[in-house]
């Protein structure tokens, strides 16, 4: 994908679902933005992504140390916990998000408390607010509901924009229905999704990339996926390491 002077690559494609018996999967979307001298990553994925992050960047001749900007939509572990892989990057996260996440009681939320505490002290951590321009063509907006300080990022191109919705709208179902799973207030989430739609409709061809789904564009007013989704689980189902069954998670 290309937005203005920026080349966009999805390093790990998020998955719109959760496990039936083991809680959240945490399979979030992780994206690389390159252009105008910047190498930026949007969200970090959970611990299980570390090898994929290194391999995904290496495909483009990059290492985590080359990343200049890390944009975090919110503090949940599956979006933030690998921030220390990017020690040379300026790290942007919502001021309201950090104010909330650093005061949480330990062990009750999917915020990685100690990683967030370290991030709050990190000299390259930059707190941002609603309507701020992180770069001249990258704006951030407060989109609460999933967490109190969730941000969306809007990368503006001359022809169309790219909107990173994080978990303010985790997937297509939430975008279309305005109903949400895992929110502290469904009405607050619905208002945030309405705000996303108002940005989405501004320029034809604008792409929305949710925190746990594929990129989409509007065709005749309806969200239409770009790209293919791949997801599967491999299980050891026999008495040796060679006997496995692969469960395809894409319908
Ligand atoms: Zn989340």
pLDDT in tens, the chain (251 residues): 999 999 999 999 999 999 999 999 999 999 999 999 999 999 999 999 999 999 999 999 999 999 999 999 999 999 999 999 999 999 999 999 999 999 999 999 999 999 999 999 999 999 999 999 999 999 999 999 999 999 999 999 999 999 999 999 999 999 999 999 999 999 999 999 999 999 999 999 999 999 999 999 999 999 999 988 999 999 999 999 999 999 999 98
Angle at 218 between CA 212 and CA 220, to 5 degrees: 145
Could you tell me the distance, in angstroms and rounded to a whole number, from the CA of residue 77 to the centre of ligand 1? 8
pLDDT for 251 = 86
CB–CB of 3/157 below 8 Å?
Answer: yes
What residue has token string 């916990």? 81
Could you tell me the distance, in angstroms and rounded to a whole number, from the CA of residue 244 to the centre of ligand 1? 31
Q: Which residues lie near ion ligand 1 (Cβ < 5 Å)?
A: 76, 167
What residue has token string 């006997």? 243
Nearest CA among 117, 130, 156, 121 for reference residue 35: 156
For 2-248, the fitting CATH number among 3.90.245.10, 1.10.8.50, 3.60.15.10, 3.40.50.1000 is 3.60.15.10
CB–CB of 222/214 below 8 Å?
Answer: no
CB–CB of 141/169 below 8 Å?
Answer: no
Tokens read off for 148:
């109190």
**In sequence order, what are the beta bridge partners of 209?**
164
Could you tell me the distance, in angstroms and rounded to a whole number, from the CA of residue 237 to the centre of ligand 1? 32
Residue 39's SS3 state is: strand
pTM over 0.75? The answer is yes
45 to each of 11, 136, 156, 165, 229, how far by Cα in Å? 10, 26, 24, 15, 17
Q: Where are the domains of the chain?
A: 2-248
Could you tell me the distance, in angstroms and rounded to a whole number, from the CA of residue 113 to the centre of ligand 1? 14
């Amino acid at each position: 994908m290309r937005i203005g002077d920026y080349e966009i690559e999805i390093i790990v494609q998020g998955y719109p679902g959760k496990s039936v018996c083991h809680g959240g999967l945490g399979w979030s979307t992780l994206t690389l933005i390159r252009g105008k001298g910047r190498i930026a990553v949007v969200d970090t994925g959970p611990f299980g992504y570390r090898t994929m992050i290194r391999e995904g960047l290496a495909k483009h001749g990059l290492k985590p140390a080359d990343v200049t900007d890390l944009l975090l939509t919110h503090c949940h572990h599956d979006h933030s916990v690998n921030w220390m892989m990017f020690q040379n990057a300026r790290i942007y996260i919502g001021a309201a998000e950090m104010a909330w996440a650093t005061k949480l009681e330990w062990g009750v939320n999917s915020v990685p408390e100690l990683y967030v505490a370290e991030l709050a002290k990190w000299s390259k951590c930059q707190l941002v607010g609603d309507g701020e321009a992180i770069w001249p063509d990258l704006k951030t907006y407060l989109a609460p509901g999933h967490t109190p300080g969730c941000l969306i990022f809007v990368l503006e191109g001359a022809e169309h924009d790219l909107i990173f919705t994080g978990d303010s709208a985790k997937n297509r179902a939430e975008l279309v229905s305005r109903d949400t799973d895992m929110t502290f207030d469904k009405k607050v989430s619905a208002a945030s999704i309405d705000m996303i739609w108002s940005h989405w409709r501004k320029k034809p061809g604008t792409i929305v990339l949710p925190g746990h789904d594929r990129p989409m564009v509007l065709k005749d007013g309806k969200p239409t996926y770009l790209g293919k989704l791949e997801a599967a689980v491999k299980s050891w189902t026999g008495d040796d390491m060679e006997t496995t069954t692969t469960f395809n998670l894409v319908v």
